[in-house]
Structure formats: structure tokens, C-alpha cells
């Protein structure tokens, strides 16, 4: 039986510490990991908790991230609660196995501390790794601050392990900007946290020897399409209602309210930025300041990146005149991914909104409040003109000559 830990109501934790305590509190059976900056402290702290008797589970050091996720897949198939963490190049090395985890319908929670992908090598935060995971069949939840990194882990386990879902989930947080930034985090007691997620209920577990099952099968043209369709069906129909239900339960327990799409100052907004991660909170502060200057500014934060809550996002953006999609990842050859998602979301609606794209913050480059003021100012001009008055895609925060496309 694991020891419990007494926590203060508010602990000053960075995002990594918050995530590692969440993993401890849900008593993961197997954490298999290969540490990489900036996610290292999650598994390092967790290994410490395990060694000191605070976790009744196994910590496995593997030879690579590919091995770490492979080990997680084996443990999840065997019938255990499983989690790990990674970033950047490590995430990239995991990619092959990510598709196996989702295709085998295994509930695994992966904390992704978002970091740039080289070359050039860079340890700082951007969303390149998060974007790389978006077709992998995983649920992707996004944190804006250490409190979110803590809370969303509980949501991830609860939804992922639900027998109607049985899909792995990533909890994202911004490298350094969340992972190494200490802020006040409201805690749950060990008991309340564990009870929120509950005792793990295995399904089709390999170690249930009375009910033999096969994992990791091969299907060719005969059945592959049907398996993939079934996976997509679960992701598209089961997941969002389960996330909403988990958010509702979590609000009852903690008073903290999460939404499938986070809309701030959007009721009467004329201009809005859509973004992810810590940028959402900085943008909220700037939107308030723009309102004081008479610009009706709002912010839409993507909380659930996959499955994409298309209808809910269309609803919050329907009356806006000008929208900026902010992408913290190099799109390499096209418009940013969020720009594409928002375009696709609004295309068949009645919106007349003007949509533009900003690429920002690559490799940890600071997104300052001054940058956001200039974006909102561009948006106001677009809203007043009723058309795009700037290039469609602009780089913001880049040194040297301005760069823009389309």
C-alpha cells in the first residue's frame, strides 16, 4: 500500500511537478520512460515518488522513447494503468508506436511537454511536437498553465480509460513557459484525486487468462479499413461527450471549470485570436487591455485539439468580424495548422469573418504583449475594412526583415 502525501491547499509548483503529482495521485501501475528536456522532471519526480514508497507501481527505464512507449503499450495491453512523458525529438521517435497505441485501443496517458524539433537543436518550447501527433489517433488536451497541467491529467485518465473510449490521451504543456514556471496550483487530496479517476477497470487484458485475447494483429485489405473506421467513430462520437462529463464532474469536485473550447470575452467580440498553450492567457490579458481602448477583443483557447470540437468552435466564432489563428509551429510549405482547422471549421457556415494567420514563438521565442497588441490592431483594421488588409500569413517576433506569405 502506497504512502499518502500531505499537500498544502495551494502548492507553488511548475507544470512538471504538477503533472508528476497527478500521476502519483492516480497510482499508475507502470511508468516506462526515457527522459528528455524539458519533460525530464515529470518522470524523475515520479521515479522518486516510487522509490520513496508513494506509488504502488513499477518504474521502468528504457533504452529510448520508442522503447518507452512500446513498454507502455505492453503494460496497457496486459491490463494496467499506464503513463509516461516526453518532448520534441523523443516524441518524434515515439511516433510509430503512438499509432500502435491508438490502433490497439489502449488507454495510455502521455504528458507531452511541448518543445521545438531540430534542426537546429533547440530545447525550448513550441508546438512542433504537438502538431506532429495530431493524426496519430490520440486524444490531445492542452494546458495553459501549471494548474491546467495538473487538472487535465485527471481528465485524461478518466476519459481515456472509459470503456466506451479506450483511446490514449496526451496532456500538453508548453516547455519551460509552463513546465519550468512555478505558479500557485490548487491541489486535491490524494484520496479525492484517486477517487475522481477511480480504480482501473481493465478491458480485453492479456493477463485475464480465463478470457484469452489477441493484441497487435495484422489486417489487410479485408478488415483494416473497418478497424480504422471504428477507431475514428469512437474518437468522433464518444470522446467529446465523455470529456464534457469529466469536466462537469471535475467542476463539482473542485469548482474549476473547463470547456471543450475556452471562450474569453467572446460574447460581443468583433475581433478574436485563436491560440494554444500559455499564449491563451497572455492574449486574455491583452484582450482586456484592448477593450479598455474600445476594441471589442476576445480570445478562443483550444482546450481539446483532438478530437477537434468543430461545431463548438464554429459556434463561438460565428459573430466575429476578424480572426487571427496563431501557430507556434513552422508550417513548412503551407498555412499554419490552426489556420487550416479554423478555415475548415467556418467554411460551410454563414460567417463573413476575415481570417489571417500568424506564425510566432518558434524555438521558445517570446510572444510579448506588444506582439499581441499589434495582432489585435491588425484585426481591428481587417474588421473595419471587411477584408484582409495584411498578408494572409505573417511572422511575428522574427528579427530582421519582415516575412509574410500570400
Partner 1 sequence: MLEIRWHSRAGQGAVTGAKGLADVVSTTGKHVQAFAFYGSAKRGAAMTAYNRVDDKVVMNHEKFMRPDYVLVIDPALVYVADITANEKDNTIYIVTTHMSTDELIASQPKLEGRKVYTVDCIKIAQETIGKAIPNTPMLGALMKVSGMYDIEFFKESMVKVLKKLPQKIIDANMIAIQRAYDEVK
Give whichever of 200 and 358 is closer to partner 1, judged by the CB atom: 358
Residues comprising the chain, all counted:
406
Q: Name the site residues for partner 1 (rule: CB under 8 A).
A: 10, 12, 38, 123-124, 145, 174, 176-178, 180-184, 278-279, 281-282, 284-285, 366-370
Long-range contact pairs involving 349-354 (C-beta distance under 8 Å, separation at least 24): 349/314, 349/318, 350/318, 351/314, 351/317, 351/318, 351/320, 352/321, 352/386, 353/317, 353/320, 353/321, 353/322, 353/323, 354/321, 354/322, 354/323, 354/382, 354/383, 354/386, 354/387, 354/388
* Beta carbon nearer to partner 1, 84 or 178: 178
**Cβ closer to partner 1: 1 or 119?**
119
Of the pair 279, 382, the CB lying nearest partner 1 is at 279
Could you tell me the sign of the dihedral formed by the alpha carbons of 365, 41, 90, 310, in that order? negative
Quote the least distance from Cβ 78 to partner 1, whole Å: 36
Closer CB to partner 1, residue 179 or residue 329? 179
Helices (H), 30-84: 40-51, 65-78
Q: Is there a contact between 132 and 92 (Cβ–Cβ < 8 Å)? A: yes
All 3 cell numbers of residue 261? 473550447
- Closest approach of partner 1 to the CB of residue 146, in Å: 10
In the complex, least distance from residue 132 CB atom to partner 1, rounded to whole angstroms: 22
Q: Tell me how far the alpha carbon of residue 139 is from its chain's centroid.
A: 8
Using an 8 Å Cβ cutoff, are 323 and 353 in contact?
yes
Q: Measured from the CB of residue 183, what is the shortest distance to partner 1 in angstroms?
A: 5
Which CB, 229 or 370, lies closer to partner 1?
370
Question: 32 with 4: CB under 8 angstroms?
Answer: no
Are 23 and 83 a contacting pair, CB within 8 Å? yes
Residue 233 or 369 having the CB closest to partner 1: 369
Instruction: Tell the smallest beta-carbon distance from residue 266 to partner 1 (Å).
Output: 16
Report the nearest approach of partner 1 to the CB of residue 289 (Å): 11
Q: Report, in Å, the least distance between residue 124 CB and partner 1.
A: 8
3-state SS, residue 383:
helix
Q: Nearer Cβ to partner 1, position 211 or 399?
A: 399
Residue number, 12 or 213, with CB nearest to partner 1? 12
In angstroms, give the least distance from the CB of 25 to partner 1: 20
Q: Of 228, 162, 221, whose CA–CA distance to 197 is shortest?
A: 162
What is the sign of the dihedral through the CA atoms of 243, 148, 141 and 202? negative
Asked if residues 56 and 2 have their Cβ atoms less than 8 Å apart, the reply is: yes
Q: How far is Cα 138 from Cα 154, in angstroms, rounded to an integer?
A: 16
Q: What minimum distance in Å lies between the beta carbon of 378 and partner 1?
A: 19
CB 169 within 8 A of CB 238: no
Amino acid at each position: 500500500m502506497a504512502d499518502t502525501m500531505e499537500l498544502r491547499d495551494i502548492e507553488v509548483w511548475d507544470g512538471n511537478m504538477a503533472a508528476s503529482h497527478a500521476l502519483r495521485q492516480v497510482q499508475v501501475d507502470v511508468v516506462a520512460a526515457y527522459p528528455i528536456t524539458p519533460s525530464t522532471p515529470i518522470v524523475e519526480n515520479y521515479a522518486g515518488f516510487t522509490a520513496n514508497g508513494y506509488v504502488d507501481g513499477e518504474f521502468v527505464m528504457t533504452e529510448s522513447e520508442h522503447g518507452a512507449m512500446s513498454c507502455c503499450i505492453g503494460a496497457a495491453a496486459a491490463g494496467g494503468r499506464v503513463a509516461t512523458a516526453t518532448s520534441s525529438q523523443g516524441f518524434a521517435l515515439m511516433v510509430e508506436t503512438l499509432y500502435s497505441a491508438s490502433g490497439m485501443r489502449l488507454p495510455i496517458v502521455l504528458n507531452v511537454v511541448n518543445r521545438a524539433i531540430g534542426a537546429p537543436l533547440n530545447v525550448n518550447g513550441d508546438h512542433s511536437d504537438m502538431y506532429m501527433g495530431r493524426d496519430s489517433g490520440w486524444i490531445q488536451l492542452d494546458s495553459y498553465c501549471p494548474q491546467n497541467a495538473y487538472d487535465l491529467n485527471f481528465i485524461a485518465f478518466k476519459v481515456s480509460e472509459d470503456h466506451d473510449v479506450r483511446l490514449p490521451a496526451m496532456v500538453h504543456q508548453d516547455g519551460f513557459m509552463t513546465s519550468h514556471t512555478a505558479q500557485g496550483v490548487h491541489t486535491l487530496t490524494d484520496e479525492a484525486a484517486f477517487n475522481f479517476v477511480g480504480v482501473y477497470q481493465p478491458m480485453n487484458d492479456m493477463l485475464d487468462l480465463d478470457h484469452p485475447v489477441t493484441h497487435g494483429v495484422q489486417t489487410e485489405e479485408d478488415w483494416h479499413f473497418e478497424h480504422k473506421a471504428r477507431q475514428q467513430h469512437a474518437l468522433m462520437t464518444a470522446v467529446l461527450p465523455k470529456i464534457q462529463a469529466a469536466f462537469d464532474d471535475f467542476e463539482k469536485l473542485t469548482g474549476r471549470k473547463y470547456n471543450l473550447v475556452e471562450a474569453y470575452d467572446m460574447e460581443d467580440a468583433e475581433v478574436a485570436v485563436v491560440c494554444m498553450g500559455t499564449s491563451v492567457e497572455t492574449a486574455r490579458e491583452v484582450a482586456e487591455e484592448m477593450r479598455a481602448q474600445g476594441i471589442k477583443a476576445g480570445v478562443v483557447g483550444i482546450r481539446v485539439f483532438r478530437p477537434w470540437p468543430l461545431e463548438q468552435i464554429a459556434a463561438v466564432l460565428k459573430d466575429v468580424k476578424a480572426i487571427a489563428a496563431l501557430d507556434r509551429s513552422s508550417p513548412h510549405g503551407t498555412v499554419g495548422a490552426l489556420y487550416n482547422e479554423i478555415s475548415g471549421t467556418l467554411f460551410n457556415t454563414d460567417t463573413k469573418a476575415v481570417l489571417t494567420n500568424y506564425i510566432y514563438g518558434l524555438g521558445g521565442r517570446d510572444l510579448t504583449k506588444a506582439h499581441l497588441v499589434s495582432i489585435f490592431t491588425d484585426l481591428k483594421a481587417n474588421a473595419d475594412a471587411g477584408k484582409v488588409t495584411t498578408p494572409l500569413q505573417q511572422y511575428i517576433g522574427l528579427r530582421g526583415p519582415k516575412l509574410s506569405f500570400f
